[in-house]
C-alpha cells in the first residue's frame, strides 16, 4: 500500500492546475516540474495531509511547520509566503510563530516580527567561524548580564498570524535572574521544557518582559527565542529556524536542538540547507549525505511521525563569477537521502531553471547581485511555488487520507 501511495503522490500533479497564475510567468522557471518527489514510502505525508484536513474541519487547533536553513530562511520571506498559502487556503486565523530576537544579535530579522531591548546582549551562533554554546533549535542565542533589562517582541503588518494570547520565552533558567511580563498574565515556569509560559486574557500583537537580577551565582541569562501562539482558533504555526551562514552540519552543533524542537512537535519539517556547503572547496557528496542523515535522525528523535521535505540547493555562483557545478552534486545527494529516509524532495534547483539559472533570476530582479540570495519577490515566488507543489499532492490525495 505504501508503494502505491508513493506512486499516486508522484504522478497526480498532472491532473492539477499550474502555479503560474499564483506567482506570475517567467520563461526560465520550469513550472511543469513544480511537484513533490517521493520514493516508495509516502505514508508520513499522507498523515500530514490528514492533519491538514483536520485543521480545515476544526478537529485540531494547530498544525506546526518548521523550516530549517541558512540565510534563505533567516530572511523569512520564503517561509512566510509558504505559511500564507496554508492560512489563506484553509481560511484560518490561529497558529503563530517561533521568533528569534535577531535584532538583539545585531543581524537581519524576519519580516513578520521584530525584537527590541534596552540592554546589551552578546550573540552566539552555530556557524564555523564563531561557534559557541549554548545553542537552541534556531542555531543562535543571545546572552546578557545586565542588572535590569527590558526586552520584547512584536508582530509586524507582514505577519500572516497577526495576534497571540500565549507566549513561551525560551531561556536557560538562570537562578540569578527572574523574568516578568510587563502586562497582566498567568505565568508558569516549565523548566523541563526550557521555557516560561505567559497566558493572556486577550489577543495582543506585542509584549515586553523585564529581566531582574537577583544575585550573581550564575553570570549570564541566555535567551533562545519566543513562541507566539494564538490558541483562540485553528491555524498553522511556523518556526522559521534560520541562521546566516549555516551549513548542513551547523544545527548538529546545537546542544538544545532536539529538546527544543520536541516542545513544538513539528508536523512538517522543511530543510533548506546546502548553499554554504557547496560554496566551499572541500565539499563532498558523501559528507553532505552524512550530515543530512544525522540531522534527520535528530528531527525524528524530536518528532518521530513528522513529514520531512528536503529542498534541493538553489543554483548559485562562487564569488559572483563562477557557476557552481557542485550544486548538481548536492541535488543528487538529496535524492539519495530521500530514498533512504522516506522523505519528500521539492526540486527547487530544477524548478528555478537548473545550472546558471540564478543569472536569469538576477536579471529579472528575482535574485540579488551576489547570485546567491534572492530578492524579496524571488523568495515570495519560491514560497508560493513550494506551497503550490505541496497543495497539489494534498488535493489529489484527499480521497485517500481517510481510508
Res. 11: pLDDT tops 90: no
Domain with CATH 3.40.50.1110 in the chain: 1-92+234-398
Rounded mean pLDDT of 107-127?
A: 96
Tell me, what's the pLDDT at 244?
97
The string of pLDDT tens digits covering residues 347-384 is: 999 999 999 999 999 999 999 999 999 999 999 999 99
The confidence band for 128, taking pLDDT boundaries of 50, 70 and 90, is: confident
**Mean local confidence (pLDDT), 153-160:** 98
Instruction: Give the model's confidence band at 56: pLDDT under 50 very low, under 70 low, under 90 confident, else very high.
Output: confident
In tens, the pLDDT along 184-239 reads 999 999 999 999 999 999 999 999 999 999 887 778 999 999 999 999 999 999 99
Mean pLDDT of 112-136: 94
How confident is the model at residue 241, as a pLDDT?
A: 98
Q: What is the pLDDT of residues 306-322, one digit of tens each?
A: 999 999 999 999 999 99
225, 376, 312: which is closest to 37 by C-alpha? 312
Separation between Cα atoms, residue 245 and residue 70, nearest integer Å: 6
Q: Which segment of 95-99, 217-221, 276-280 scores lowest on mean pLDDT? A: 217-221
The pLDDT score that the predictor gives to residue 249 is 97
Considering only residues 20 and 249, tell me which one the structure prediction assigns the higher pLDDT.
249
How would you write the chain as a 3-class SS string? CHHHHHHHHHHHHHHCCCCHHHHCCCCCCCHHHCCEEECCCCHHHHHHHHHHHHHHCCCCCEEEEEEEECHHHHCCHHHHHHHHHHHHHHCCCEEEEEECCHHHHCCCCCCCEEEEECCCCEEEECCHHHECCCCCCCCEEEEECCCEEEEEEEECCCCCCCCEEEEEEEECCCCCEEEEECCCCEEEEECCCCEEEEEEEEEECEEEEEEEECCCCCCCEEEEEEEEEECCCCEEEEEEEECCCCCCCHHHHCCCHHHHHHHHCCCEEEEECCHHHHCCCCCCHHHHHHHHHHHHHHHHHHCCCCEEEEECCCCCEECCCEECCHHHHHHHHHHHHHHHHCCEEECHHHHCCCCCHHHHHHHCCCECCCCCCECHHHHHHHHHHHHHHHHHHHHHHHHHHCC
**Per-residue confidence (pLDDT) for residue 129, from 0 to 100:** 81
Return residue ranges of the chain for CATH 2.60.120. Answer: 99-233
Which pLDDT band, with edges at 50, 70 and 90, does 399 fall under? Answer: low
Confidence of residue 10 (pLDDT cuts 50, 70, 90): very low
pLDDT-derived band at 284 (thresholds 50, 70, 90) equals: very high
What average pLDDT score do residues 158-180 get? Answer: 96
Mean pLDDT of the chain: 92
Look-up: residue for cell 533512504? Answer: 340
CATH class for the region spanning 99-233? mainly beta
Ramachandran quadrant class, 242 (left: phi over 0; alpha: psi -120 to 50; beta: rest): beta
Q: What is the mean pLDDT of residues 271-288?
A: 98
Instruction: Tell me which residue of 322, 310, 309, 388 sits closest to 355, measured CA to CA.
Output: 322
- Which of 3.40.50.1110, 3.60.110.10, 3.40.50.1980, 3.30.420.40 would CATH assign to domain 1-92+234-398? 3.40.50.1110
Confidence of residue 23 (pLDDT cuts 50, 70, 90): low
State yes or no: pLDDT of 127 exceeds 80. Answer: yes
- What pLDDT digit, counting tens, does each position of 133-155 carry? 999 999 999 999 988 899 999 99
pLDDT given for residue 101 in this prediction: 98
Report the pLDDT value the prediction gives residue 400, as an integer from 0 to 100: 66
Q: For residue 396, what are the CA distances in angstroms to 36, 65, 112, 269, 383?
A: 12, 21, 31, 21, 20
pLDDT higher than threshold 50 for residue 18: no
C-alpha cell at 232: 483562540
With contact defined as beta carbons under 8 Å apart, do 272 and 82 qualify?
A: no
The pTM (predicted TM-score) of the whole model is: 0.94
pLDDT reading at 69 higher than 90: yes
Provide the percentage of residues in the chain whose pLDDT is more than 70.
Answer: 93
The predicted pLDDT at position 276 comes to 98
* Over residues 291-304, mean pLDDT: 98
- pLDDT higher than threshold 70 for residue 24: no
Q: Comparing 41 with 246, which gets the higher pLDDT?
A: 246
> If we measure between CA atoms, which residue out of 150, 169, 142 comes closest to residue 211?
150
Amino acid at each position: 500500500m505504501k508503494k502505491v501511495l508513493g506512486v499516486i503522490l508522484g504522478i497526480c500533479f498532472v491532473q492539477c492546475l499550474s502555479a503560474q497564475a499564483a506567482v506570475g510567468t517567467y520563461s526560465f522557471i520550469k513550472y511543469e516540474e513544480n511537484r513533490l518527489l517521493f520514493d516508495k514510502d509516502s505514508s508520513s505525508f499522507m498523515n500530514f495531509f490528514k492533519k491538514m484536513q483536520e485543521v480545515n474541519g476544526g478537529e485540531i487547533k494547530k498544525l506546526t511547520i518548521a523550516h530549517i536553513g541558512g540565510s534563505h530562511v533567516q530572511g523569512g520571506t520564503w517561509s512566510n509566503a509558504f505559511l500564507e498559502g496554508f492560512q489563506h487556503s484553509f481560511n484560518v486565523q490561529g497558529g503563530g510563530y517561533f521568533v528569534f530576537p535577531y535584532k538583539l544579535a545585531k543581524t537581519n530579522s524576519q519580516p513578520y516580527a521584530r525584537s527590541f531591548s534596552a540592554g546589551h546582549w552578546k550573540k552566539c551562533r552555530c556557524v564555523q567561524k564563531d561557534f559557541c554554546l549554548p545553542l537552541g533549535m534556531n542555531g543562535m542565542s543571545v546572552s546578557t548580564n545586565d542588572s535590569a533589562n527590558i526586552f520584547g517582541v512584536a508582530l509586524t503588518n507582514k505577519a500572516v498570524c497577526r495576534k497571540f494570547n500565549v507566549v513561551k520565552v525560551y531561556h536557560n533558567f538562570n537562578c540569578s535572574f527572574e523574568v516578568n511580563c510587563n502586562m497582566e498574565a498567568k505565568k508558569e515556569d516549565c523548566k523541563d521544557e526550557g521555557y516560561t509560559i505567559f497566558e493572556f486574557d486577550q489577543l495582543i500583537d506585542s509584549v515586553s518582559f523585564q529581566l531582574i537580577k537577583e544575585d550573581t551565582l550564575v553570570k549570564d541569562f541566555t535567551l533562545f527565542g519566543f513562541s507566539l501562539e494564538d490558541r483562540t482558533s485553528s491555524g498553522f504555526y511556523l518556526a522559521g529556524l534560520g541562521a546566516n551562514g549555516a551549513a548542513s552540519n551547523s544545527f548538529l552543533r546545537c546542544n538544545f536542538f532536539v529538546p527544543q524542537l520536541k516542545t513544538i512537535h513539528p508536523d512538517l519539517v522543511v530543510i533548506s540547507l546546502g548553499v554554504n556547503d557547496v560554496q566551499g572547496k572541500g565539499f563532498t557528496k558523501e559528507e553532505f549525505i552524512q550530515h543530512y542523515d544525522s540531522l534527520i535522525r535528530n528531527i525524528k528523535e524530536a518528532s518521530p511521525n513528522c513529514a520531512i521535505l528536503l529542498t534541493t540547493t538553489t543554483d548559485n555562483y562562487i564569488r559572483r563569477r563562477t557557476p557552481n557545478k557542485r550544486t548538481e552534486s548536492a541535488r543528487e545527494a538529496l535524492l539519495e537521502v530521500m530514498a533512504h529516509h522516506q522523505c519528500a524532495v521539492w526540486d527547487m534547483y530544477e524548478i528555478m531553471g537548473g545550472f546558471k539559472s540564478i543569472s536569469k533570476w538576477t536579471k529579472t530582479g528575482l535574485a540579488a547581485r551576489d547570485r546567491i540570495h534572492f530578492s524579496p519577490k524571488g523568495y515570495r515566488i519560491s514560497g508560493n511555488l513550494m506551497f503550490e507543489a505541496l497543495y497539489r499532492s494534498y488535493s489529489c490525495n484527499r480521497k485517500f487520507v481517510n481510508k
